[in-house]
Structure 1
């Protein structure tokens, strides 16, 4: 990850967009998180109290999915909480807020494509066997590098 505060480009637009997302979420505190999820967390569709109005949760999920285009470090966490948009509970809301606080802490970080790196495309894949506590489905994750740069 690189610090983009001093680089030109659209990072300021992303920061402005994210600040609007934070405002929409109603996060008035300044708390941050050092990771997008808690270690080994397994969310369940029945844990917690159902949200009275899931509209804000769904809107924020759409915003986070959009942000994963430039922030692949958010992809796994966003995927995890996006599974509950049809019936979000308080535990899912807490996980979503943690992602927002992580992004707040790392807002000026992103991927940088090196102009001097070799152009080999390398992919890594990992999966678990029946790790989903809801329906016992397997989950797979991958990452792709172009040279030294993470691209997906």
Structure 2
């Protein structure tokens, strides 16, 4: 068995160490995803989904080749490891993998344009801070 030192890149996760913190990001993976979708030169957006957007199974035209949609959504699911802010909308678009439509694909493209502006967002862990998890819930939403 060999010791290769600190982990720096593994399965799309970039890990950066310093003396008192650990930073985990998926910037390279997200950039490759933007390249695969052809959105390197696109403009960024401030939110991953439009305000009051509702996806339905019958909205828009059916995609002639849903392979790209499925591949992009699968990659977005993996990106939710470090981009927790897209979890809800990725869950929404993943519900339509069987029969995606043009409105669903447009939402996926918007998520990717949002990710372009947040490429280097990630998770910070500080060595001196206690490990306390906080959970927030909107209980009166329903």
Same fold, judged at TM 0.5 (above): yes
Closer/same/farther in 2, CA of residues 56 and 125 from structure 1, 3 Å limit: same
- Which runs of 5 or more residues in structure 2 are unaligned? 1-15, 18-22
**3-state SS of the aligned residue for 2:134?**
strand
Higher Cα Rg, which structure = 2
Q: Does 1:31 align with 2:43?
A: yes
- Which runs of 5 or more residues in structure 1 are unaligned? 1-6, 130-152
Of the three residues 118, 127, 140, the one matched with 1:106 is: 118
1:51-104, Cα deviation, whole Å (9 max, x unpaired):
000000000011000110111111111111111111111100110000000001
Say which structure, 1 or 2, has more relative contact order (CA 8 Å, 6+ apart). 2
Give the alignment of 1:84-95 within 5 angstroms: 84-95=96-107
Query: 2:135: which partner in 1?
Result: 123
Contact 2:24/2:123, CA 8 A, preserved across alignment: no
Give the alignment of 1:1-152 within 5 angstroms: 11=25, 14-126=26-138, 128-129=141-142
